[in-house]
């Protein structure tokens, strides 16, 4: 699934995957930055809590965004596929300046929204400037390739990860969340072994990767983003390795970027915080 085409005279909206457990009480810089990009005091934010099984997830984010100064925030209950045809909900989605997917289970988002008007509207509007973000499962769903399941561990092994189609807002990255906290380097490397074109973004908790319209990623938060670049991959044994066997991968570049760091996804260049 390729991203929707951006109009020649326009800019794609920001894409904002967050590693989960973002600070909601003290230093709310990630959510505050999301509101700012969505229009600040003019922001109209649509929260999509499809991934969560908790009934208070959507209302909680609605209150957070309102407290941070958004003009309006609303939770859109797309919990079943038939909800995705509700004209009243789709109208509210069309009017949003920012869309935020909550955490939970990313496969619940994919199987509920995939192929529906909701997914098409989000893709189309993002290509025309809508800011789209998500935390944890809501971060995983944003790119073309989504990590659906995977084991923990630093060493990549064959069959360690299962990929699924995501929303397809960008085909440049594969996102993994709760990265350092859940020891997920191995599964991100395995995902990149399947798809060496993409760049891996391993997001620590309370850390966001704010990808601007020029495809420069800006790190915001208290943790770091581990950027894994396999564009110069020399050798990969993924095609021959049996399930559970370590994969041989050579000539990989890894960058660790804390708050203020940047990575140019087009030129594949890392920049430390100023």
The residues that are catalytic are 136, 178, 205
Q: 């923990």: which residue's tokens?
A: 152
Q: What is the CA radius of gyration of the chain?
A: 18
- First-to-last alpha carbon distance for the chain, in angstroms, is 36
Separation CA 157–CA 151 (nearest Å) = 9
Distance of CA 49 to the CA centre of its chain: 14
Q: Give every CB contact of residue 85 below 8 A, 6+ residues apart in sequence.
A: 116, 117
Q: Are 51 and 101 in contact (CB under 8 A)?
A: yes
- What is the C-alpha separation between 216 and 14, in angstroms, rounded? 10
Please report where in the chains the tokens 């934010």 appear, as a residue: 45
Structure-block tokens of residue 91: 């109208």
């Amino acid at each position: 699934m390729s991203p929707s085409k951006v109009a020649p005279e326009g800019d794609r909206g920001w894409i904002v995957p967050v590693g989960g457990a973002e600070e909601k009480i003290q230093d709310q810089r990630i959510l505050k930055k999301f509101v700012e990009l969505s229009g600040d005091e003019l922001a109209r934010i649509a929260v999509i809590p499809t991934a969560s099984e908790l009934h208070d997830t959507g209302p909680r984010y609605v209150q957070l965004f309102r407290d941070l100064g958004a003009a309006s925030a609303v939770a859109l209950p797309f919990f079943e596929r038939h909800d995705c045809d509700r004209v009243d909900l789709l109208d509210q989605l069309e009017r949003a300046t920012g869309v935020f997917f909550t955490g939970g289970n990313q496969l619940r988002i994919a199987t509920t929204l995939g192929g529906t008007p909701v997914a098409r509207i989000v893709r189309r509007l993002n290509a025309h400037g809508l800011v789209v973000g998500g935390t944890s499962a809501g971060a995983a769903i944003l790119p073309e390739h989504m990590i659906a399941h995977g084991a923990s561990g630093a060493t990549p092994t064959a069959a360690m990860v299962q990929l699924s189609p995501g929303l397809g807002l960008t085909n440049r990255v594969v996102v993994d969340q709760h990265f350092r906290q859940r020891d997920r380097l191995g599964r991100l490397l395995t995902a990149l072994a399947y798809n060496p074109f993409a760049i891996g973004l391993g997001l620590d908790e309370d850390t966001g990767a704010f990808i601007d319209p020029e495809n420069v990623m800006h790190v915001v938060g208290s943790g770091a983003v581990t950027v894994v670049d396999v564009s110069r991959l020399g050798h990969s044994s993924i095609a021959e390795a049996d399930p559970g066997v370590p994969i041989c991968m050579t000539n990989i570049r890894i960058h660790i970027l804390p708050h203020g760091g940047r990575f140019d996804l087009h030129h594949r260049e890392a920049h430390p915080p100023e």
